[in-house]
Chains A and B, each alone.
Chain A
Amino acid sequence: MGQTVTSSLQSSAKTPKTIAMKENTEHQALANWLQAVANERSKAAFTHLFKFFAPKIQRIAASKYGNETLASEVVQETMSNIWRKAHLFNPDKGSPTTWVYTVMRNVSFDLLRKIKTKKEDNLSDDFWPLVESCEADDADSQFEDHLASKEVMRCIDTLPEEQKCVVKGFYFMEMSQEQLAQHLGIPLGTVKSRLRLALAKLKQQIGGEK
């Protein structure tokens, strides 16, 4: 987008640094809302997400496909996927905006494919698995990430058995907290507190690198 600094009125106040800061706090808020949707099924948080993302998705899709109706469909589908898949968002793996972008990209791919080829095979999640798709920001950190994930695995192995179970079920097998509760025959609250404990412990062990 070519217009960055040219319209001078506002730009004087916005040094790159303040923009970056604004992005950071914005990202934090978005990430919190996504997690509130995932963990508490919070409609209030979802409304915030909706108001932030829906108009932008509408604009991006409309300019890309030149079709407002299709764009609304992309909005509808993307937002409902966010509601249903928020638990797959992992703040350690990427920014909330990148995650939402990948959801939108997948939705658009399946929609367009349906229109062009009449196929409703929804292949996008096979091509771009949402759990892994927002990995490293740049090529350099790829290898670190790899090492880091080994480190994480080591730490997980040191957790008490019952916490290990919950962590592995939730993050590696992508079971929901409800499913885990059912599967392990324990109350939902217990799943949540075990998960919290485990994560606190992991954070402690891995330290504040990120």
Chain B
Amino acid sequence: MISCHPTQEMLEKFANGELPATLAAAVSIHAEMCSECSAQIASYTEQQAEAGFNDVSSHDASSTNVNDEDAFADIDIDDMIAAITATDEIDIALEDKEKTITVKGKEYVLPRALTNMTMSNWSSIGKLARSRVELGEGEIRASLLQIQPGGSVPEHTHKGFELTLLLDGSFEDDMGVYGPGDFIVLDGKHTHNPVSHEGCLCYTVSNDAQHFTQGINKLLNPFGSFIY
């Protein structure tokens, strides 16, 4: 049972195509696993389409919409149509071909949203292994993080925000136990210490390195940027 979901605002922005790719991927993966959120997204999409294309009452009533045709007058419609229909090719939606990855001997099937992304080689310290997902969005960075059974991420806070989407396995922190599909967003106010007894694979997005808070873990601070 999934207990953590994206906010309505996020779902709506996702439906409108307004999230950065790092976050859009996360919402897409979550929606694939969560029928409620996926229905919510469908409904936002419907509303947007409605507002843009079906708003019959606004056609003649509003000054901004009167000139649909005028706004388009300087483009040669016939030329454009001819150019588009000149080719008879159609796009074949490729059959969903599953892509699997193997991390430290464990095999995972990647969610569809991640199948065409470039990922760095895996690097690891202790029971943690990470591969960066190269999406080129500057300070917003995405990674796959594997925690091996019994592994944990030292207690830390976040300078920015951190999104953890659990893909496989489970982990827990002082706020609860999480399973596949859980969409956990933390920001600078939270401190946590995730532990995974059975091991897990997560897709994470953060906009700043984590900041470790406890004793000897301070030594780990230089690694903050390693983990996320």
Contacts and interface: CB of A to CB of B under 8 A. Distances in A.
Interface of A: 1, 3-7, 10-11, 14, 19, 22-23, 26, 41, 43, 46-47, 50-51, 53-56, 58-60, 62-63, 72, 75-76, 79-81, 83-88, 94-95, 97-98, 100-102, 105-106, 108-109, 113, 116-119, 121, 123-131, 133-139, 141-143, 146, 173-176, 179
A10 B60 contact: yes
**9 nearest CB pairs, A to B:** A101-B49, A55-B68, A142-B39, A97-B53, A117-B136, A109-B17, A98-B49, A105-B17, A127-B28
Interface string B104-118: 000000001111111
Contact of B71 (A23, A53, A55): A55
B115 A126 contact: yes
A135 B136 contact: no
Contacts of A53: 53
B21 A113 contact: yes
Given A54-B77, A131-B93, A139 B72 contact: no
Contacts of A176: 90, 92
Contact of B48 (A5, A41, A101): A101
Interface stretch (B81-89, B181-189, B191-199): B81-89
A143 B48 CA distance: 23
Contacts of A62: 71
Contacts of A75: 75
Q: Size class of B's contact patch? A: 35 or more
Given A19-B57, A51-B77, A100-B49, A126 B92 contact: no
B61 interface: yes
A158 to B, nearest CB: 24
B53 A101 contact: yes
Contact of A50 (B35, B42, B68, B81): B81
Contacts of B220: none
B53 A46 contact: no
A108 B17 contact: yes
A113 B52 CA distance: 22
A50 B117 contact: no
Contact of B51 (A1, A76, A102, A125): A1
Contact of B90 (A14, A87, A136): A87
